[in-house]
Amino acid sequence: MGLVYRWYAKASTAVLEDVPGGTRGYHVISDAVHERAGSQIQLAQRHGVNKTVMTYLVDDLEGAGLVERRADPSDRRNRVIVVTERGRELWESVQSRLREVERHVLSDLTAEEQAVFCRLLGRVADRADSIDPVSDACAVGKEIAEIAEPRQAAG
Predicted TM-score (pTM) of this structure = 0.77
What pLDDT is attached to residue 142?
58
Percent of the chain whose predicted confidence (pLDDT) is above 70? 86
Mean pLDDT of 7-29: 92
* Maximal C-alpha separation, the chain: 62
For domain 2-148, the question of CATH label 1.10.10.10 is answered with yes
DSSP state of 155: -
Q: What's the rounded Cα separation, in Å, for the pair 35 and 80? A: 10
Closest residue by Cα to residue 94 from 12, 3, 1: 12
Are the C-beta atoms of residues 104 and 11 closer than 8 Å to each other? yes
**On the CB side of 47, how many CA atoms lie within 13 Å of its CA?**
28
CB-based contacts of 117, cutoff 8 Å, min separation 6: 106, 109
Q: What is the pLDDT of residues 43-97, one digit of tens each?
A: 998 888 899 999 999 999 999 999 999 998 888 888 999 999 999 999 999 999 9
Contact 68, 87 (CB under 8 A): no
